[in-house]
Structure 1
Amino acid sequence: MADRPNIAGNRDSEIKDLIRRYIKEIDQEKVMQMLAEQSQEWECYSAAVVSGKYQTALESSITYVAYEGDFLCGYSRSLDDCGFYIYVCDLLVRPECRGRNIGRGLLQCVSIDYPGRTVYVMSDEDGYYQKLGFRKEGSVFEISSNS
């Protein structure tokens, strides 16, 4: 497996800054706490009625976490389409950690670990992904259960 992106920038490489795969026993509580601290937009994952379901999704998905020391800075969650594509469903970096290439590093891990696979991002922040140089490809539509 290739080396992980360095999220520490120019800092000493001995600092335990890393991006790695999600480990339920270590990361679950920290990810759920980070979600609870976010805006209402993320409440669909952290609300008590759905948090158990989302915890299962974190474990069964392709999930990466980004740490600076012991501090969780962000995470990404992606789905594997049976060997065809990878879909990034969630990318969240704490506001105080933004601007340090953490989001980019989380996305790079997907490409590194799944070489030759096309990676698509389910985006509600198109400007961010365009800034990273990604090309917009299609649209996403919601089919409501009331339709």
Structure 2
Amino acid sequence: MVDVVIRRYGPADEQAFFAMLEGEGDDWREYVGPAGRPAYARAMRSSIAYLLLVDGELCGYARCRDDDGFGVYVHDLLVRGPHRGRHLGRALMERVCADAPGQTVYVMSDVDPYYEKLGYARAGSIFVVTPGA
């Protein structure tokens, strides 16, 4: 049986979090480089962020912002390659929705086919998340 835990990110997670991102290659380079890391560390601390752990291994995250009751915007979503295809990204999105009852959750996407596959409706250049879609 696989143990999947989704929990909120905290300051003590910073080192493990950036180690995970460093392993993700060029797509995440701007977040982990000398100029980007301090800025992204601040962004993580000021965001609603969730970590995904599978059997204790950090293997994904979601970073969101609450727009003062006008919606929650997911800015970043990552599930590491070896863990993809197991509905873990959907689980992260469902956790965001569960923690924002009554609010619309939007995704700021650069991977549109993934969100289309999940059944989320396009709203202009973003997607509206539908839990359980």
Does the alignment reach a TM-score above 0.5? yes
TM-score by length of 1: 0.81
Q: Deviations over 1:71-105 (max 9, x none)?
A: 10100000111111110000011000101111111
Matched residue, 1:106: 92
Whole-Å separation in 1 of the counterparts to 2:54 and 2:45: 21
Please tell me the residue identity of whatever aligns with 1:116.
G
TM-score by length of 2: 0.89
Matched residue, 1:130: 116
Give the secondary-structure state (helix, strand or coil) at the position aligned to 1:136. Answer: strand
Q: Which has the higher contact order (CA 8 A, sep 6+)?
A: 1
- Identical pairs, percent: 44
Q: How does 1:1-147 map to 2 (within 5 A)?
A: 11=1, 15=3, 17-25=4-12, 27-139=13-125
Cα deviation for residue 113 of structure 1 reads 0.4
Matched residue, 2:131: none
Q: Deviations over 1:4-61 (max 9, x none)?
A: xxxxxxx26xx4x210111221x21121111111131211211111201111111110
Matched residue, 1:143: none
Point out where structure 2 has 5 or more consecutive residues left out of the alignment.
127-133
Cα deviation for residue 136 of structure 1 reads 1.0
Q: What root-mean-square deviation, in Å, do the aligned CA atoms of Structure 1 and Structure 2 show?
A: 1.3
Q: Which has the larger strand fraction?
A: 2
Please tell me the residue identity of whatever aligns with 2:121.
R
Point out where structure 1 has 5 or more consecutive residues left out of the alignment.
1-10, 141-147
